[in-house]
Amino acid sequence: MYMASSSVLSAAVAFSTIILIGESLALLLDFSNNAFLQQYVSSNTGLLGFQIGVLAILAMGVAFLVYRRASSGSVTLDETERAVTSTPQANIQQPAQGGFKVLSDTRHLFVRSLKKLLRNPILLFFSLFQPIIFITLFTQLFSGFGALLPASLGRDYTRFAVAGIVLQNGFSSAFQSGTSMVDDLRSGFLVKMLATPVSRTAILLGRISTDMFRMVVQSSIIFLLAFLLGAYPDTGIPGYLLMLATIAFFGLAWSGISLSIGLKTRSAETVFGIAGTLTFPLLFMSTALVPPELQPKWMQQVSPYNPVSITVDAIRATFMANAPYFSNPAATILTAYGVIALIGVVTIGTTLYLFKKVIS
């Protein structure tokens, strides 16, 4: 049974984390020794105050929802037993037969994963809070870098950085797939699933489809906030759809690495360690946050072969299709899809091989 104290603890953790994030940002900024930030804050006091106020309201609102959700989730063992024994036999769905069995089982497991995510409001909160922080604070903090951008890209750093922030979020989210698989292995859920007539392929597809859906939702939030900040794609609604498809395709390919590590090691700590080791070098040696013209010479030689740079350039070419910087946006996009497909064949193939070994 869930105790009432756990709801208070959940709310306290959610709100305290927001305070810690704010304090950490203040320490990192080192306001007293940064003349640029002092000038920026003095000239944008109203805007910063409004943003901080909105974030504080969101934090308190989510903490309250966490509290209500945890409080209302209290059930007793007797209530659970009555709920199980009173389930009508007619409501028990039989597994689908025929060629649609994989799709039907994937759909049920997809819904199950979504419900599991929604029932963990703290995890849901932080998965949505990170993109909000990046698009509202990061782009505003470094808006002065717009003057350093090549003229062919324009002077708006927010428009330039949207593609990098979106892919950074998708890149980090893709590595969470392995930890979810490890959780299913440790909790015994996978063993229970193998004792049912569910399609084995659907177990893996349900996990991957949920992660792709989460990436699309988070990316949509980033695009919405970017639109409110005045950054919107030259290609309109079709451009939004193409960029979301690119992010989902990219997430599918890279989640295979995380799933492979999780299936091989069965250790969430190992997945996090390897993910962190790969994430930051690939992101910082890419064109996600700065154009190649502003990178060191040695990094300019490496960046064009970085799959993150290739995918970011495709998203940015879609977002800024009218910019003279991209002479052939279609070729940039097609090249990215080819590279992602190659990575996906290797990573998903490895995942399928390891998954078959686990279930055997």
Both 270 and 316 in a single domain? yes
* Residue 215 located in a structural domain: yes
Both 73 and 141 in a single domain? no
Both 35 and 9 in a single domain? yes
Decide if pLDDT at 27 tops 80: no
Alpha helices in the chain (DSSP H): 4-29, 35-43, 45-72, 77-85, 101-118, 121-133, 139-141, 157-174, 176-187, 189-194, 200-228, 236-265, 268-284, 297-302, 307-319, 329-359
Both 121 and 214 in a single domain? yes
Domain stop point among 30, 49, 83: 83
Both 113 and 179 in a single domain? yes
* Residue 90 located in a structural domain: no
Both 30 and 126 in a single domain? no
Both 53 and 146 in a single domain? no
Q: Rounded to a whole number, what is the largest CA-CA distance in the chain?
A: 71
* Residue 92 located in a structural domain: no
* Residue 171 located in a structural domain: yes
Cβ-in-10-Å burial (0-12, 13-18, 19+) of 43 comes to exposed
Both 159 and 216 in a single domain? yes
What is the tally of structural domains in the chain? 2
Q: What is the pLDDT of residues 115-169, one digit of tens each?
A: 877 777 676 666 667 777 878 888 878 778 788 888 888 888 888 889 999 988 8
Both 107 and 182 in a single domain? yes
Both 27 and 140 in a single domain? no
* Residue 300 located in a structural domain: yes
* Residue 133 located in a structural domain: yes
Q: How many CB atoms lie within 10 A of CB 96?
A: 18
Residue with tokens 């890419």: 286
* Residue 89 located in a structural domain: no
pTM: 0.69
Give the residue numbers spanning the domain of 192.
101-359
Both 62 and 158 in a single domain? no
* Residue 130 located in a structural domain: yes
Spatial CB neighbours of 1, under 8 Å, sequence gap ≥ 6: 74, 75, 76, 77
First to last CA, the chain: 35
Both 149 and 257 in a single domain? yes
Q: What is the pLDDT of residues 217-243, one digit of tens each?
A: 888 988 998 898 888 888 889 999 999
pLDDT of the residue at 58: 63
DSSP string of 117-133?
A: HHT-HHHHHHHHHHHHH
